[in-house]
Amino acid sequence: MTSAKISILIFYLALSPYRYFQISIYLLMAVVLPCGFLSTFYFLFACNPIDKYWNFMKPEGSCIDLEKFWSSSAAVNSATDFLMLVMPVLMLWPAPIPRLQKMGVLAIFMVGGL
């Protein structure tokens, strides 16, 4: 998921001539990348020993609070997804193209959100 988000943000970076938009893309990358790595490591090492993750009946070992982990991960992913959906709107809003054409391009970008 992190790789897909970073590739979309790099695509946005290539499309935008506006400096403020490029800075906001870099800031979002600075949130997505560490959160993706942390989520991966938390997922891999959620339980000690690792096989306790799929074998809860195993008496020895322990796991982190998985409900809190999945909830926080879902919140961060939802927030970054929403920001990535709104970014093309902010980029195209000041563009000097006809309104109907602008709406068509935005509709194409929004289909990616489905």
Q: What's the DSSP call for residue 51? A: G
Q: What is the pTM of this model?
A: 0.77
Residues of the domain holding 27: 2-111
DSSP alpha helices (H): ranges in the chain?
A: 2-15, 19-44, 66-92, 99-111
Q: What is the mean pLDDT of residues 53-76?
A: 82
Q: Does residue 88 have a cis peptide bond before it, meaning omega lies within 30 degrees of 0? A: no
At residue 7 the predicted structure's pLDDT band, cuts being 50, 70 and 90, is very high
9 vs 22: CA distance, rounded Å:
9
> Taking 90 as the threshold, does the pLDDT of residue 34 lie above it?
yes
* Total tally of structural domains belonging to the chain: 1
